[in-house]
Amino acid sequence: MSKTEKTKDSLGFHLLIAAAGSGSRTGLDHPKQYADLCGKAVLRHTLDKFIGFQGLRSIRVIIGAGHMDMYTTAVKDTPLAPPVIGSDTRRGSIYNGLCSFTADERDDVVLIHDAARPFVGTESIENLLNVIYGGATAATLATPVADTIVSTKDHTPIDRNGLRAIQTPQAFRIRDIKAAHENFINDDRFTDDAGLMKACGHTITCVDGTRDNFKITTAEDLMMAEHIFAAHMQTIAGYGYDVHAFDPAPASAIRLGGVDIPHTRKLLGHSDADVILHAITDALLGTIGDGDIGQIFPPSDQTWKNADSRIFVEEALRRVRAKGGTLIHADISLVAEEPKIGPHRNTMQQKIAEILGLPITRIGLKATTSEGLGFVGERKGIEAKAIVSVSLPKDRT
282/291 Cα distance (integer angstroms): 8
Cβ at position 302, least distance to Mg ion in Å: 17
> Nearest to Mg ion by Cβ — which residue?
278
Return the sign of the alpha-carbon dihedral for residues 97, 70, 327, 279. positive
Closer to Mg ion by Cβ: residue 181 or 278: 278
* Closer residue to Mg ion (CB): 278 or 385: 278
DSSP conformation letters of 5-47: HHHHHH--EEEEEEE-----TTSSSS-GGGSEETTEEHHHHHH
* Cβ at position 309, least distance to Mg ion in Å: 8
Contact at 8 Å (CB) between 236 and 390? yes
DSSP codes joined into one string, 119-183: T--HHHHHHHHHHHHTT-SEEEEEEE--S-EE-TTT--EE-GGG-EEEEEEEEEEHHHHHHHHHH
Residue 221 vs 242, nearer CB to Mg ion: 242
CB of 316 to Mg ion, least distance (A): 13
Q: Quote the least distance from Cβ 320 to Mg ion, whole Å.
A: 19
CA distances from 271 to 110, 185, 199, 294, 306 (A): 48, 59, 64, 11, 4
Amino acid 112 reads I
Residue 269 CB, shortest distance to Mg ion, in Å, is 6
CA dihedral 91, 92, 98, 100 (to 10 degrees): -160
Nearest-angstrom CA–CA distance, 361 and 18:
35
To the nearest 10°, report the CA torsion of 324, 1, 4, 113.
40
Reduce the DSSP state of residue 298 to 3 states and report it.
Answer: coil
Distance (Å, whole) CA 230 – CA 353: 24
- Ranges of H-type helices in 164-292: 174-183, 193-199, 219-231, 275-287
CA angle centred on 16, ends 169 and 219, rounded to 5°? 65
Distance of closest approach, residue 282 Cβ to Mg ion, in angstroms: 9
Q: How far is the CB of 395 from Mg ion (least distance, A)?
A: 33
| Rounded Cα–Cα distance for residues 133 and 7 (Å) | 10
Smaller CB distance to Mg ion: residue 202 or 278? 278
CB of 261: closest distance to Mg ion in angstroms? Answer: 17
Measured in degrees and rounded to the nearest 5, phi and psi for residue 281 equal -60, -50
Closer of 192 and 242 to Mg ion (Cβ) = 242
Nearest to Mg ion of 62, 280 (CB atom)? 280
Chain contacts with Mg ion (rule: CB under 5 A) = 242, 278
Question: Which one, 242 or 383, has the nearer CB to Mg ion?
Answer: 242
Q: How far is the CB of 248 from Mg ion (least distance, A)?
A: 18
Q: For the range 249-254, what are the long-range contacts, defined as Cβ-Cβ under 8 Å and sequence gap of 24 or more? A: 254/339
Partnered with residue 208 across adjacent β-strands are 142
Q: What SS3 state is found at 240? A: strand
Q: Which is nearer to Mg ion, 114 or 242 (CB)?
A: 242
- Cβ distance to Mg ion smaller for residue 126 or 242: 242
User: In angstroms, rounded to a whole number, what is the distance separating the alpha carbons of residues 257 and 262?
Assistant: 13
Nearer to Mg ion, 245 or 360 (CB): 245
Least distance from Mg ion to the Cβ atom of residue 336, Å: 14
